[in-house]
Amino acid sequence: MAGSQVALSPAQAIAVLRTLDSCAVSDALDTLGLPGAVTGISAMWPTDTVMAGRVRTVTAAPKSSGGPSDHIATALVAGAERDDIVVIDNHGRTDVSCWGGLLAEASIQRGIAGVIVDGACRDVQESQALGLNLYARAAVPVSARGRIVQQAMDERIQVAGVSVASFDYVIADVNGVVFVAAQHAERVLELAQRIVAREAAMAQAVRSGRDVREVMHDSQFPTVTAE
Ligand SMILES: O=C([O-])CC(=O)C(=O)O
Ligand SMILES: [Mg+2]
């Protein structure tokens, strides 16, 4: 892909992301001076999976009316597509869940690749049993029902200070969550691949007995730049 001028399709971008990890993508964003890495949201169980896909946003809000309403995220999940990743913005609230096992069941049927909650989730064991990747700030037993609704979907949201829109990309793994704005995906992925290659060479140097002070010194192994 290096040097390629051909635009990546979403499927190609997702396939490349799945060969990377969140640290390499975060480093690429750093190099380009772009935001994307978030802190405080982590995998709900120890995982060796790299989750990558296309963002679909849900904006959560407290339920204001007394009457019946759609359950949060159902409208988005019902129309979601393969490799979508549901990203729920509950503004960091951890006193109520936004995600549970029934939503996970429906998500698997749609081919959804995973879920990220800027807030809390529940029924963690049900998502895990279904193999649905789940990232959140916390797990709590408290239901969304009667408390939280979907205010909007596919609107721009803020996740821990990072601006995120539907059809951006996201990668998440045991290290955390990193968003990639769609318009920068090509440059970010190309750079992240070069960063991975550099790290592999550095690891090989350490394995072959070179002093780690030398291998990791800023003067060694050409720093990967934006060019
Ligand atoms: O009531 C809720 O918060 C949703 C829930 O548990 C589920 O989707 O299984
Ligand atoms: Mg449930």
Q: Which atom of ligand 1 is nearest to the CA of 103?
A: 8
Q: For residue 101, how far is its CA from the centre of ligand 1 (angstroms)?
A: 6
User: Which CATH architecture group holds 10-187?
Assistant: 3-Layer(bba) Sandwich (3.50)
Instruction: Retrieve residue 67's tokens.
Output: 């009457």
Query: Where are the domains positioned within the chain?
Result: 10-187
pLDDT at 136 over 80: yes
Residue 1 pLDDT more than 50? no
Which of 184, 189, 162 is closest to 27 using CA atoms? Answer: 189
- How far is the C-alpha of 155 from the C-alpha of 193, rounded, in Å? 30
**Residue 4 has what pLDDT?**
46
Distance CA 7, CA 24 (A): 21
Indicate the Cα dihedral angle 78, 79, 83, 86, nearest 10°: -60
Identity of residue 12: Q
Range with the poorest average pLDDT among 25-29, 83-87, 127-131, 216-220: 216-220
pLDDT (tens digit per residue) in 90-135? 999 999 999 999 999 999 999 999 999 999 999 999 999 999 999 9
Pinpoint the alpha helices (H) of 49-174. 74-78, 101-110, 124-130
Per-residue tokens: 84: 């979508």
> H or E segment at 51?
strand 51-62
Task: Summarize pLDDT for 19-39 with one digit per residue, the tens.
Answer: 999 999 999 999 999 999 999
Nearest to 197 by CA among 61, 20, 79, 11: 20
- Can you tell me the ipTM of this complex? 0.96
> Distance (Å, rounded) from C-alpha 2 to C-alpha 193?
8
88 CA distance to ligand 1 middle (Å) = 14
pLDDT at 3: 45
How far apart are the CA of 102 and the centre of ligand 2, in A?
Answer: 6
143 token code pair: 């239901």
